[in-house]
Copies of this chain bind each other. A is one copy, B any other.
Amino acid sequence: MFDSANLPHVMTKDEFEAAESRLRELLLDAQFEVAEQKRAAIMVMINGSDGAGKGEIVNRLYDWLDDHLVETLSYGKPTDAERARPGAWRYWRDVPAKGRIALVLGSWHHRLLRNRALGRLDKNAYNNALEEMIRAEEMLRHEGVHLLKIWLHMDDHEVRKRLEKLREADGALRRPAVIEWDEIQGSKARARLIDAALEMIEKTSTGNAPWAVVPATNPHYRDVAVGDLLLQTLKSAAAGAPAAPSTRAVAAPDSALPRPSLVSTLDLTKTAGEDYSKVLQSLQQRLTEATTAKSFRDKGLVLVFEGNDAAGKGGAIRRVREALDPRRFRVYGVSAPTDEEQARPYLWRFWRNIPRRGDIAIFDRSWYGRVLVERVEGLAAPQDWMRAYQEINDFERQLGATGYLVVKFWLAISQDEQLRRFQDRETKAFKRYKLTPDDWRNREKWALYEQAMTDMVDRTSARQAPWALVEANDKKFARLKVLRTIVERLEA
What B residues does A387 contact at CB under 8 A? 139, 142
User: How many protomers of this protein does the assembly include?
Assistant: 2
Bits for A129-144, please: 1 = Cβ < 8 Å to B, else 0. Answer: 0011001100110111
**Smallest distance from the beta carbon of A462 to chain B beta carbons, Å?**
15
Within 8 A of B (CB), among A372-418: 384, 387, 390-391, 394, 398-399, 401-402, 404
Within 8 A of B (CB), among A91-112: 92-93, 95-99
Bound CA–CA A332/B124 (angstroms): 37
Chain A: interface size category: 35 or more
Given contacts A86-B354, A143-B346, 7 further A-B contacts (CB under 8 A): A41-B344, A88-B398, A89-B351, A95-B348, A128-B131, A135-B394, A139-B387
Closest B residue, CB atoms, query A134: B131
Bound CA–CA A97/B344 (angstroms): 5
What B residues does A122 contact at CB under 8 A? 124
Bound CA–CA A349/B84 (angstroms): 18
Residue with the greatest number of chain B CB neighbours at <10 A, chosen from A81, A88, A345: A345
Is A219 interfacial (CB-CB < 8 Å)?
Answer: no
What B residues does A92 contact at CB under 8 A? 347-348, 351-352
**Which segment of A52-60, A157-165, A240-248, A279-287 sits at the interface?**
A240-248
Is A274 interfacial (CB-CB < 8 Å)?
Answer: no
What B residues does A246 contact at CB under 8 A? 244-247
Bound CA–CA A472/B300 (angstroms): 64
Bound CA–CA A479/B246 (angstroms): 46
Per CB-CB distance, the 10 closest pairs between chain A and chain B, nearest first, are A124-B124, A143-B345, A92-B351, A97-B343, A84-B356, A246-B246, A86-B402, A131-B131, A98-B343, A95-B344
B145 & A394 in contact (Cβ 8 Å cutoff): no
